[in-house]
Structure 1
Amino acid sequence: MLYLQLLYRCNFSCLHCFHGERLQYVDAFTAEEAVSLLTLMRDEYGTEAVTLLGGEPFVHRELPQVVRYAKQELGQRVEICTNGYRIERRLTEIAPHLDLLRVSLEGVGSTNDGIRRRGSYQSALQSLSLARDLSVSTGATMTVTSRNIGEVIPLARVLAQLGVRQLKLHHLRPVGNAADHPELLVTDTAAYGRLREELAETRLPLEVIVDEDLSEHGAPEVCAPSGGPREIDRIEADPRGALTMSCKAVGKDSHAFWYEKTVNRIVHRPSATDEITLPVPDVVYARA
């Protein structure tokens, strides 16, 4: 899976966003650059799928061109991760080429809107409902914070009623905007244990995937490649062309590899602080 951040620009400035001040940066992939990277990653590195994200991918003017090329020309599985805010027209346009729409939510009603944007909760639900009507599979993501840890189950129930198949729970990492909002951090890690118990005891009609850092003792140490080559299952490209292998390195300048847009190639630029040299542990996800 290639996670392709098409641009930094977003119509939100969420309290927990890992981009932080980069939301104001103008860096972005053109459609030509995006399809060149998609083709290179498929031909040289065997990628089978792409998730398009940002920033907010639906504000990228050339999103339909990228989606159509990835699906029709490359035969990729195409997913989009979005805030779901007023995307109805463009969602309808790209629906025939889209395998999964994943909408980010941070709780129910005002809890979500307080972290994201006023009116964003209802808009996200409307987008999920439209996707269902367009026969597009849907999922959701939620970053677990001190404000919303008690709303995981209620949100899951709302999502299930809309036909959402999967809820993915992320651990909050104190980078970007989240670094300015330490009050969002869950300081009592026993709360993660209680959440897991509740998930185990509650029969939900959708799959819940959990970042293993959401536990009292944290995730097992699974590191980026450091002892020779091994296969990895994801690469994330930011709008500058910086490539990241571990979610725990996303939002930090710890890139060992870069995609050079002008010459369509990937280069290795090792440093004393890159994710391989350190090495940065990978994120481990498991079914709740």
Structure 2
Amino acid sequence: MIREVTGIETIRMLYLQLLYRCNFNCTFCFHGERLSHNDSFSADEATALLRLMHETYGSEAVTLLGGEPFVYRELPQVVRHAKHDLGMQVEICTNGYRIERRLAEIAGDVDFLRISLEGIGHTNDTLRKRGSFAAALQSMEAARSLGVATGSTMTVNRQNIDEVIPLAKLLEDSGARQLKLHCLRPIGNAADHPELTITDTAAYARLREQLADAALCIDVVVDEDLSGEGSQVTCAPVQNEKSVERIESDPRGALTLSCKAVGKDAHAFWYDKKNGHIEYRPTGTDEIALAIPDVVYSHV
């Protein structure tokens, strides 16, 4: 159905939000009140969607996330299906809180573990959860001991922008491969915390200068909205591209092509979990009708 409506032939990666439930309630989380919702994929529903995306759109990779994917009981079944049955690359995006035992069960089938960090020590724990910084570093060490490559994400905001470089250096020294920097979007919990929003966009220019001068060996990936101008690239359906990088499914089955539309109920496509097919449900305010720009990333 996506091909018929948009002309898209291939979608490289599926971002699969397995559930909303999480053991954190971060101040900037785009899910907001949905963190308390019970929507989730069963293992059968998740593997069926993986198979559909792989066979129909040639998807070769999946990123499993939530909520918190490590509180999802059927995580091993989904990981094994993606890796062994479909031969996909498997990435998991997690808060890294006390995941060592469960990670050990699936480590052989995980290609990349990405742990969210929002600064050093207290800064991270204030934005996320007390004790989460130490727990994340312990999980990264456990992953490396199991042979799993690691990286991190950081949502840049007013409280942590001065800790981007220190965090990048710490991750580099600890053997992490990548730090991915996201722009804060005022949805979900972030909408209730306007103090996190960076209003002086010159701060982004200073950050980019610092990154350029830091001579980091770690791969730093930057959301282009971390600039005074922001990205003006429109989403793939409007550009009629034949191939796109990713599509994201939330735990209800809503499918979103533009990262900037995630969490805004601006999706035009749904995965019918019961019947195992994708439906087109257009509205006047969906991502295609509004030509919502996609996020563009660059490497420092």
Q: TM-score range by the shorter chain?
A: over 0.9
| Equivalent residue runs for 1:1-288 within 5 Å | 1-226=13-238, 228=240, 230-288=242-300
Give the match's secondary structure for 1:243.
strand
Tell me if the contact between 2:258 and 2:294 (Cα under 8 Å) persists in the aligned partners: yes
Give the aligned residue type for 2:27.
L
Give the aligned residue type for 2:181.
L
**Residue 3 of structure 2 aligns with which residue?**
none
Tell me if the contact between 1:20 and 1:177 (Cα under 8 Å) persists in the aligned partners: yes
Alpha-carbon offset, residue 227 of structure 1:
5.3
User: Normalising by structure 2, what TM-score?
Assistant: 0.95
Give the aligned residue type for 1:10.
C
Output the CA distance in 1 between the equivalents of 2:203 and 2:241. 38
Alpha-carbon offset, residue 229 of structure 1:
5.4
Tell me if the contact between 2:234 and 2:291 (Cα under 8 Å) persists in the aligned partners: no
- Judged with a 3 Å threshold, the aligned counterparts in structure 2 of structure 1 residues 228 and 169 are, in CA distance, closer, same or farther, namely closer
Q: Deviations along 1:252-277, whole A, 9 cap, x unmatched?
A: 11110000011100010000000000
Give the aligned residue type for 1:173.
R
RMSD of aligned residue pairs (Cα, Å): 0.8
Output the CA distance in 1 between the equivalents of 2:232 and 2:260. 13
Give the aligned residue type for 1:91.
L
Output the CA distance in 2 between the equivalents of 1:135 and 1:48. 21
Output the CA distance in 1 between the equivalents of 2:75 and 2:250. 16
Tell me if the contact between 2:32 and 2:188 (Cα under 8 Å) persists in the aligned partners: yes
Alpha-carbon offset, residue 232 of structure 1:
1.3
Q: Which runs of 5+ in 2 are unaligned?
A: 1-12
- Judged with a 3 Å threshold, the aligned counterparts in structure 2 of structure 1 residues 26 and 150 are, in CA distance, closer, same or farther, namely same
Output the CA distance in 1 between the equivalents of 2:236 and 2:283. 15
Tell me if the contact between 1:271 and 1:277 (Cα under 8 Å) persists in the aligned partners: yes
**Residue 5 of structure 2 aligns with which residue?**
none
Output the CA distance in 2 between the equivalents of 1:72 and 1:143. 33
Alpha-carbon offset, residue 204 of structure 1:
1.2
Output the CA distance in 1 between the equivalents of 2:125 and 2:241. 44
Tell me if the contact between 1:222 and 1:284 (Cα under 8 Å) persists in the aligned partners: no
Output the CA distance in 2 between the equivalents of 1:94 and 1:228. 38
Give the aligned residue type for 1:275.
E
Output the CA distance in 1 between the equivalents of 2:216 and 2:70. 30
User: Normalising by structure 1, what TM-score?
Assistant: 0.99
Output the CA distance in 2 between the equivalents of 1:64 and 1:228. 36
Tell me if the contact between 2:235 and 2:257 (Cα under 8 Å) persists in the aligned partners: no
Give the aligned residue type for 1:113.
D
Q: Deviations along 1:217-259, whole A, 9 cap, x unmatched?
A: 1123333312545321100000000000011001111110000
Tell me if the contact between 2:43 and 2:74 (Cα under 8 Å) persists in the aligned partners: yes
Q: Deviations along 1:71-99, whole A, 9 cap, x unmatched?
A: 01100000000000000000111000000
Alpha-carbon offset, residue 205 of structure 1:
2.2
Q: Which runs of 5+ in 1 are unaligned?
A: none
Output the CA distance in 2 between the equivalents of 1:85 and 1:197. 33
Output the CA distance in 1 between the equivalents of 2:171 and 2:54. 33
Tell me if the contact between 1:224 and 1:275 (Cα under 8 Å) persists in the aligned partners: no
Structure with the bigger RCO (C-alpha within 8 Å, sep 6+) is 2
